[in-house]
Amino acid sequence: MNPFQRHRQALASRLPDGLIVLAGGSRVLRNGDVPFPFRQKSDFLYLTGVEEPDCVVLIDPRRKAQTLFIPKVDSQHRVWLGPVPGPAQARSRYGFPRALHCDRLAAEILRAKRGCRALYADRDTLAKLGKLKGLGLRGLPGRPAALRDALDELRAVKSPGEIALMETASRVSGGAFRAAMRAVRPGMAEYEVQAVFESACLKQGLRHLAFSSIVAAGRNAAVLHYHHNDATIRGGDLVLLDAGAERLGYPADITRTFPANGRFTRRQRDIYSIVLETQKAMIDRARPGVVSADLHAKSMTMIAEGLKSLGLLKGGTAGLVENGAVRLFYPHGLAHMLGLDVHDSAGGRKRKLPNPAKVPVRFVAKLEPGFAITVEPGIYFIEALLRDPALRRKHRGSVDFARADGFLDFGGVRIEDDIVIRPDGPPRNLTDVPKEIDEVEAACGRG
Ligand code: GLY
Ligand code: MN
Ligand code: MN
């Protein structure tokens, strides 16, 4: 049984009284009549593993039936875009007991809806069904929120099959990181590092990135989701590479920060070591029952201690975390769930927790075996925060702004690994890319 068959079964047993219908994604135009590369909707991938556009899945839990509907394409489609699998091919390729063309969808729903209590479909699917001729859905209430909740609950815990897909994404992305670190030299453009990374992923058959690659040299690394990637890398710069490929929608999301000329300066080592020690400690603590927001608060404490040791912060550590001073240097979350959505859901209503930590953070969940999360602390010198007059006034007792001004050309350091929570002991780390200082120096080219 492939993982997607298991996902359909699990969803059917959560929603046994209705009919589950989900439309996959369609091509989206980029300009004129030219589409973006197609990326399947995450929920549809979860239930089918099908990367073709314009398909629909119908799950009838009461009759234990599962049908994949595929578009019937005309000869013009075949001329320009090639064939799409027919029903017989789709059945065997995707492991469905039944596959039909989409023009049979209305009739199949009409047949299956007898005695059903609800239609579990998302809003997009309900809108599409509303346009189908001959399909009256009166008396069959649409329940998009219940479907969302069930899918979020299921998608939070990754099965061995899903973890295997993420392992592939991590292994290939890890090799591409090593290639980028080997290639980097002062004088290169950021996009040349991007080209090395992305071509290494492509050469291994992973043709989709999980998100746009971030290659940020020097000050650009202080832009958290930098996207220009067009500056020249200078000797003495740190280069932050945050990137990852995906396999059947399952991503890697990795960050490394490395010296353009192969050697960290003293100051770079100081900042890097604080981030690295924090990251390793938080990975070690990521165990079942731990609340992610508490982990985040702990990482802020460690970063605050480190910045105090460099004279950038002053005063009691707890106060620096609570008053937000440390957030001037570390303004994002420690972690997020990782899955078919790079920033994946932390589960449905049952898993919703109040935030127990005294710090604002979006990801609040009690970690469970099978959760895949990132661990990605960072330290940045962000002019927009450090030169903000109101923040300077608010934090003048906590931050040595004169000293911080001397770091404004530094940029930032982020280190990000992808881990899976295990039932006991420390988590499994899917990321295999050098991160110790001597390993990173050995992995980088010498300018
Ligand atoms: N690459 C986006 C993130 O790390 O969350
Ligand atoms: Mn991330
Ligand atoms: Mn990332």
Q: Is the CB of 167 under 6 A from ligand 1?
A: no
Q: What is the pTM of this model?
A: 0.96
| pLDDT given at position 446 | 59
CB 16 within 8 A of CB 61: yes
The reported pLDDT for the residue numbered 447 is: 43
Note the pLDDT of residue 139: 78
State both tokens at 65: 């039936």
Using a 6 Å cutoff on CB, does residue 418 contact ligand 1? no
Atom of ligand 1 nearest to the CA of 332: 5
Which among 330, 414, 417, 418 is annotated as catalytic? 414
Residue 225 is among the residues annotated as catalytic for this protein: yes
Q: What is the pLDDT of residue 384?
A: 97
Ligand 1 atom, smallest distance to 214 CA: 1
| Positions in the chain short of pLDDT 70 | 446-447
Active site residue 414: yes
Is ligand 1 within 6 A of the CB of residue 38?
no
Query: Is 400 in the active site?
Result: no
Q: Verify whether residue 439 is a known catalytic residue.
A: no
pLDDT tens sequence across 13-45: 999 999 999 999 999 999 999 999 999 999 999
Q: Which stretches of 113-259 are DSSP H helices? A: 123-130, 144-156, 160-183, 190-203
| Given 117, 343, 392, 422, the catalytic residue | 343
What architecture (CATH level 2) is domain 160-443? Alpha-Beta Complex (3.90)
Whether 3-156 and 160-443 share one fold: the answer is no
Assess contact for 441 and 259: CB atoms under 8 A: yes
- Ligand 1 pocket member 242 (CB < 6 A): yes
Q: Which fold has domain 3-156?
A: Creatine Amidinohydrolase; Chain A, domain 1 (3.40.350)
What is d(CA 117, CA 114) in angstroms, rounded to the nearest whole number? 9
Domain ranges of the chain: 3-156, 160-443
Residue among 119, 147, 61 nearest 349 (CA)? 147
* Ligand 1, atom 5, residue with closest C-alpha: 343
In this structure, the residue with its CA closest to atom 4 of ligand 1 is: 253
The tens digit of pLDDT for each residue in 335-355 reads 999 999 999 999 988 888 888
